[in-house]
């Protein structure tokens, strides 16, 4: 079952960013949206969520309504100096469930605390936001998304500025939440390692090359495709059952300024 589908969708603000694309977020899958900085990933995400109107094509909602979304924004876009407690922030995730004119009730607070416990930061509930480390703040934002009782969990660059160990821990947490809550996950990132071991489907995006490809992760995490995306030599290897990706020196083929004439759209 698809939660959201884009059909022959042309995305962008005024001018098309990518060639017409087809994309589906399927129930129970993890879709990794991968591309260099400034590739158009966030624009694709906004179009997928219906926040940005399509220039042409269709956004289809097979459920007959928008799926409930738990959203984890880029951490550095939020001001950590607000005089809010962790619980205040997590409760925000339940605002749309209550609707206007109603205050948070004991049940909402209980659910918010449960989400914090589940993420492993239950003891932080009453802490001021500004006292949190970057990793704790990220977890609080994930707890807020879970408190929203989502069907679709969307994470925008969740592992940027994280060391490899912290990145791994966070992605394992997302995987655990996905199973526990029967979620679909969309993971937008420019970090190959974040996608390599966790996504079941991968979309490669680069507006500079007019590139959009989507398919199963085992096909998309491929040296040739990734090399084409990054303009560099890429090696992919299996180490102890995990996918490792190594970026090598630059290649000369298909430079980043390739025109729209070199559009390559493949759908798998």
Contacts to another protein by CB under 8 A: 49, 51, 66, 69, 71, 73, 77-79, 82-85, 88-89, 91-93, 95-96, 98, 100-101, 103-104, 128, 130, 144, 148, 154
Instruction: Identify which of 144, 134, 145 has the alpha carbon closest to the alpha carbon of residue 167.
Output: 134
Among residues 89 and 185, whose Cβ is nearest to another protein?
89
CB neighbour list of residue 80: distance below 8 Å, 6 or more residues apart:
129, 130, 132, 137
The nearest distance, CB 104 to another protein, in angstroms, is 7
Among residues 42 and 193, whose Cβ is nearest to another protein?
42
Handedness of CA 132, 81, 138, 122 (dihedral sign): positive
Question: What SS3 class is residue 238?
Answer: strand
Tokens standing for residue 24 = 């589906």
Among residues 82 and 237, whose Cβ is nearest to another protein?
82
Give phi and psi for 122, each to the nearest 5: -55, -30
Distance CA 193, CA 208 (A): 22
Question: What SS3 class is residue 257?
Answer: coil
Distance CA 30, CA 178 (A): 9
The nearest distance, CB 67 to another protein, in angstroms, is 11
Among residues 71 and 198, whose Cβ is nearest to another protein?
71
The nearest distance, CB 90 to another protein, in angstroms, is 12
Among residues 111 and 228, whose Cβ is nearest to another protein?
111
Among residues 5 and 46, whose Cβ is nearest to another protein?
46
The nearest distance, CB 182 to another protein, in angstroms, is 19
Q: Which residue has the tokens 């949190």?
A: 132
User: In this structure, are residues 208 and 41 in contact, taking their beta carbons and an 8 Å threshold?
Assistant: no
User: In this structure, are residues 32 and 185 in contact, taking their beta carbons and an 8 Å threshold?
Assistant: no
Among residues 126 and 259, whose Cβ is nearest to another protein?
126
Distance CA 164, CA 197 (A): 13
The nearest distance, CB 172 to another protein, in angstroms, is 23
């Amino acid at each position: 079952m698809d939660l959201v589908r884009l059909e022959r969708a042309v995305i962008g603000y005024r001018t098309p960013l990518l060639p017409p694309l087809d994309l589906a977020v399927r129930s129970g899958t993890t879709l990794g949206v991968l591309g260099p900085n400034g590739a158009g990933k966030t624009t694709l995400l906004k179009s997928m969520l219906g926040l940005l109107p399509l220039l042409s094509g269709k956004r289809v909602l097979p459920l007959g309504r928008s799926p409930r979304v738990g959203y984890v924004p880029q951490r550095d876009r939020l001001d950590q100096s607000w005089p809010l407690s962790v619980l205040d922030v997590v409760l925000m995730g339940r605002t749309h469930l209550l609707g206007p004119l109603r205050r948070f009730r004991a049940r909402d607070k209980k659910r918010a605390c449960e989400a914090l416990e589940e993420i492993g930061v239950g003891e932080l509930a009453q802490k001021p936001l500004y006292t949190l480390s970057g990793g704790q703040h990220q977890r609080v934002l994930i707890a807020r998304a879970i408190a929203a009782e989502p069907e679709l969990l969307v994470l925008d660059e969740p592992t940027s500025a994280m060391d490899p160990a912290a990145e791994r821990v966070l992605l394992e947490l997302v995987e655990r939440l996905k199973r526990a809550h029967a979620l679909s996950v969309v993971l937008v990132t420019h970090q190959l390692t974040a996608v390599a071991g966790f996504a079941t489907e991968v979309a490669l995006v680069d507006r500079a090359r007019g590139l959009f490809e989507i398919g199963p992760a085992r096909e998309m995490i491929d040296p040739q495709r990734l090399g084409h995306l990054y303009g560099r030599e890429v090696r992919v290897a299996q180490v102890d059952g995990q996918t490792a990706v190594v970026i090598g020196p630059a290649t000369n083929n298909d430079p980043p300024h390739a025109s729209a004439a070199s559009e390559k759209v493949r759908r798998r």
